[in-house]
Structures are given as structure tokens and as C-alpha cells.
Structure 1
């Protein structure tokens, strides 16, 4: 019995090492901010897992929406944003991928455990670091 338990623990350890184990079970946030001109509303809907979706959010100008979650193996959260008032301009993007490379290269690192996205007239930006510099990522498409 002891050998089986040891082998099982070893297999679990090896499988965890194949994913970004330092991220597993960490608390993380996605924040989306509406910086559209002219007090335009931003419509947000994000999805994660096979069937889980957030409620549709209508975000007023100069406000933020936050999604709090725990990172599990293969965590993927993607979001759809629509620019008001007619909601014909749209963007779909991966707001979070549970890999150290995504968190470091896109979100700017694990401190403060936030992937911060900003909607502006020309498209979607991500904050690259805690100092607050932003990088342009996606432009609006027509629906």
C-alpha cells in the first residue's frame, strides 16, 4: 500500500510540474475599465470553463468591473466587449490564461494579481506593470 501511495504522489507531483504549479489555487482578478469617450456604455460578458458565464454587465463611463477567481489547471477566461450606444463594435479576447508566460508578458506579473484591461475609443489596452503603462492589444471589430 505504501508503494502505491508513493507512486501516486509522485505522479501527482509530476503532473503539477507540467503546468504552472506556482499559479495553482492562487486568487486572481480581471478588471475591465470603461474609458470610452462621450459617456458611452461598455457591455461586458466573460466566460470560463465549458459552460460558466458572467452576467452581462453594462459599465458606465470611467468605472471598473472586476471578476475574482481562483486559478486552476488550464484556467482560461475570455471576454466579449461591445461599445455602446449601438453595440455594433465588438472585441473578443483572452482576458486570462493560467500560464506564467501570459501573466508575465500580458498582465505585467503576479503582483498585485490583477490583469487590468482598459476599453478606449480605438480599442482595448492592457496594463503592462504596476507603474501603470498600457499596451494596445485589440481594435474594435464590426458585428
Structure 2
């Protein structure tokens, strides 16, 4: 019986190493900041496979924070609408629970934040620890 348990544990450990699951059960945060000119509001709603946030209206320099605990299939996508008429919209993957996304888009696991910033020309991401922003998405009209 003990041998079977050891074999199952080894198989489980091996399967973890073969995926991005080393990230599993770690805490992470998605932050979306409103930097639209002219004190325009930003409407935000994010979703995962099972949860959806309430629609939030952010004032200029406001920040929407969405804490998550990573699992094997974490995917968070967000919809943003640009005020004042909220006709300009963008939908994007704000977080994908893969090491490549965390490093290539979010900049790394430190400080455990994938930071997005809405500006008049589009949605920017801070994709490195120094805080430089990179334009990722343009507004749909």
C-alpha cells in the first residue's frame, strides 16, 4: 500500500514539473488603472471561467484590483469601456496562468502584479520590473 502511495506521489510530482503548475496556488494580482485624459471614467468588468466581477466605474487615476490564486487553468479576461459615452471598448486576456505570459507580458512574478493602464490611445501593460509600459491593445470604435 505504501509503495502505491509513493508511486502516485512521484507521478504527481512528475506531472507538476511538466506543466506551468509550479505557479499553482500562488497569489497574484491584476490591477487596471485609469489614465484617460480629461477626467474620463473607465468602465471595467473582468471574468474568469467561474467568476465575474461587478461592473466598476473608475475615476481618473483610480485603480481596479483583482486578487487571484493561480491554478492550472487560470484565465482572466477583462472588458474595458472608455467614457464618457463608453462606445470605445476593448476585450483582452488580462492574465493567463502560464509562466510565459507572466514573464513576457506581466514582467515577472515580482511583485506578483500584472498591471494594466488605460490611456486615450489604448491599453498598456507594465511588462518589466522597472515600470516601463508597452502598448498592447488599441480601442475598438
Aligned to 2:66: 67
2:96 aligned with 1:94: no
Deviations 1:72-122 (A, max 9, x none): 111110100000111111001110111111010000111100000000001
Shift of 1:14: 2.2
2:48 aligned with 1:48: yes
Aligned to 2:78: 79
Deviations 1:108-138 (A, max 9, x none): 1111000000000010000012211000000
Shift of 1:15: 2.1
**Aligned length in residues:** 141
Distance in structure 1 (CA, Å) of the matches to 2:90 and 2:18? 32
Aligned to 1:116: 115
The structure with the largest helix share of the pair is 2
Structure 2's unaligned 5+ residue stretches are none
- Give structure 1 regions of 4+ aligned residues with deviation exceeding 2 angstroms: none
Tell me the TM-score normalised to structure 1 length.
0.94
Compute the RMSD of aligned alpha carbons. Answer: 1.0
Equivalences for residues 4-43 of structure 1 within 5 A: 4-43=4-43
